[in-house]
Chain A
Amino acid sequence: MSEPIAPAGLKPGLGPGPAAGPASASAWAVARHRFLRDPVALISLTVVSAMVLAAVCGGPLWIYSHTTITPDLSQPPSAVHPFGTDTLGHDMLALVLRGLRQSLSIAFMVALPATLLGVVGGIVAGFRGGLVDNLIMRLVDLILTIPSMALASFLGSRLRGVGISTFTLSMVLAALLWTSMARLVRGVSLSIRQELYVDAAILMGASQPRIMVRHVLPNVLDQVIVSVTLLVGTAVLSESGLSFLGFGIRPPDTSLGLLVSNAKDSAMTRPWTFYFPGLAIIVFVLAINFLGESLRRALNPHRVTNDYLDKRRRRSRRRSTGSARTSRAGGQSGRAVPAPPGEPVPTDDLVPADEPLLEIERLGVEFPAERVQAVDDLSLRLAPGEVVALVGESGSGKTMTVLAAVGLLPVGAQLSGQVRFRGRSLTDLDYDQWRAIRGSQISIILQDPMTSLNPVLTVFRHFEETLRALSGHRVADAEVRRRAVELMEAVGITRAPDRLYQYPHELSGGMRQRIVIALAIVPRPQLIIADEPTTALDVTVQARVLDSLEAARASVGAAMIFITHDLALVAGLVDRVLVMKDGRLVEAAPVDDLFARPRHPYTQTLLARVPRLRRGPDSGSPPVWAQAGSEAEAPSGGPGVAASPPPTASARLDQEAGHD
Chain B
Amino acid sequence: MVRSIALRVVNSLLVLLASSILIFALVSLAGDPLAELRQQDPPVSPSVIAAEEHRLGLDLPLPERYLRWIAGVLRGDFGQSVSPSLDIAAELGGRVQVTLRLVVLAMFVAIVLAVGAGLVSGLRQNRWPDLSLTFGSFVLLSLPSFWMAVLLKQGGIWINQTTGYRVFYTVGFESVPPVTGFWSHSLDLAGHLILPTIVLVLVHLAAWTRYQRAATIRALQADHVKYAILRGLPRGQVMRSHVIRPSLIPLITIVGLEMPGLFSGAIITETVFQWNGMGALLLDALRRSDVNVVLGWLMVSASAVVGFNLLTDILYRVIDPRMRRADHV
Give the interface of A toward B (CB within 8 A).
1, 3, 5, 8-13, 138, 141-151, 153-155, 157-159, 161, 233, 237, 240-241, 244-247, 257, 260-261, 263-265, 267-268, 274, 278, 281-283, 285-286, 289-290, 293, 305-309, 406, 408, 431-432, 434-435, 437-440, 443-444, 446, 448, 451-458, 461, 465-466, 469-470, 503, 505-506, 516, 519, 523
Contacts and interface: CB of A to CB of B under 8 A. Distances in A.
A156 B260 CA distance: 18
Given A261-B146, A268-B154, A469-B232, A457 B241 contact: yes
A469 B15 CA distance: 48
Contacts, number: 266
Given A149-B268, A439-B232, A293 B224 contact: no
Interface stretch (B25-33, B68-76, B78-86, B173-181): B25-33
A466 B253 contact: no
A158 B31 contact: yes
Given A13-B214, A244-B144, A437-B232, 7 more contacts: A9-B258, A157-B286, A263-B150, A286-B142, A408-B229, A448-B223, A503-B324
Given A146-B302, A431-B235, A455-B321, A465 B228 contact: yes
B311 interface: no
B276 interface: no
B284 to A, nearest CB: 11
A546 B18 CA distance: 56
Contacts of A11: 211
Contact of B282 (A153, A281, A307): A153
Nearest to A472: B234
Nearest to A446: B227
B193 interface: no
Nearest to B286: A157
B283 interface: yes
Contact of A153 (B27, B157, B214, B267): B267
A469 B224 CA distance: 16
A454 B31 CA distance: 56
Contacts of B15: 141-142, 145
A263 B146 CA distance: 12
A373 B5 CA distance: 54
A453 B242 CA distance: 10
B30 A241 contact: no
Contacts of A305: 125, 217, 220-221
Contacts of A281: 142, 144, 147
Interface string B213-242: 111010011111111111111110111011
B125 A439 contact: no
B228 A161 contact: no
30 contacts: A5-B254, A9-B206, A10-B141, A142-B18, A143-B22, A145-B260, A145-B309, A153-B283, A233-B142, A237-B144, A241-B146, A245-B268, A260-B144, A263-B150, A264-B272, A267-B154, A285-B142, A306-B221, A307-B125, A308-B220, A434-B232, A438-B230, A438-B231, A448-B223, A454-B242, A456-B245, A456-B319, A469-B237, A503-B322, A503-B325
B106 interface: no
Contact of B286 (A154, A261, A439): A154
Interface in B261-298: 261, 263-265, 267-268, 271-272, 282-283, 286-287, 289, 294, 297-298
Contacts of A523: 232
Contact of A150 (B18, B19, B297, B324): B297
Interface string B194-216: 00000000000011101101110
B225 A435 contact: no
By Cβ-Cβ distance, the 9 closest A-B pairs, closest first, are A439-B232, A9-B207, A12-B214, A149-B264, A451-B223, A285-B142, A147-B263, A286-B142, A158-B31
Nearest to A244: B146
A439 B231 contact: yes
A19 to B, nearest CB: 16
Among A1, A158, A283, the most chain B Cβ lie within 10 Å of the Cβ of A158
B123 interface: yes
Contacts of B257: 5, 144
A233 B15 CA distance: 30
Contacts of B123: 307, 309
A148 to B, nearest CB: 6
Nearest to A9: B207
B6 interface: no
Interface of B: 15, 18-19, 22-23, 26-27, 30-31, 35, 123, 125, 138-139, 141-147, 150-151, 154, 157-158, 206-208, 210-211, 213-215, 217, 220-235, 237-239, 241-243, 245-246, 249, 253-254, 257-258, 260-261, 263-265, 267-268, 271-272, 282-283, 286-287, 289, 294, 297-298, 301-302, 305-306, 309, 319-322, 324-325
Q: Which of B22, B224, B239, B324 has the most CB of A within 10 A?
A: B224
Per DSSP, chain B at the interface is: helix
Contacts of B287: 157
Nearest to A453: B224
Nearest to A172: B30
A265 B267 CA distance: 18
Given A146-B301, A260-B146, A282-B147, A308 B229 contact: yes
Contacts of A432: 235
Contact of B138 (A143, A293, A465): A293
Contacts of B139: 282, 286
B298 A451 contact: no
Contacts of B289: 157
A150 B282 contact: yes
B223 A146 contact: no
Nearest to A285: B142
A154 B28 CA distance: 11
Contacts of A452: 223-224, 227
Contact of A9 (B30, B141, B306): B141
A25 to B, nearest CB: 30
Nearest to A237: B144
Given A142-B19, A286-B142, A290-B138, A147 B321 contact: no
A500 to B, nearest CB: 14
Contacts of A443: 230-231
Contacts of A154: 26-27, 30, 282, 286, 294, 298
Which of the listed residues B231, B246, B260 has the most CB atoms from chain A within 10 Å of its own CB? B231
Contact of B19 (A145, A278, A446): A145
Contact of A307 (B145, B154, B220, B302): B220
Of B206, B217, B227, B263, which is in contact with the most chain A CB atoms at under 10 Å from its CB? B227
Nearest to B157: A268
A440 B232 contact: yes
A438 B30 CA distance: 69
A431 B230 CA distance: 11
B207 A10 contact: yes
Contacts of B223: 446, 448, 451-452
Contact of A439 (B35, B217, B233): B233
Nearest to B230: A444
Contacts of A285: 141-142, 144
Contacts of A10: 141, 207, 210
Nearest to B158: A268
A458 B225 CA distance: 15
Given A142-B18, A244-B268, A260 B227 contact: no
Contacts of A437: 232
Contact of A451 (B26, B224, B297, B321): B224
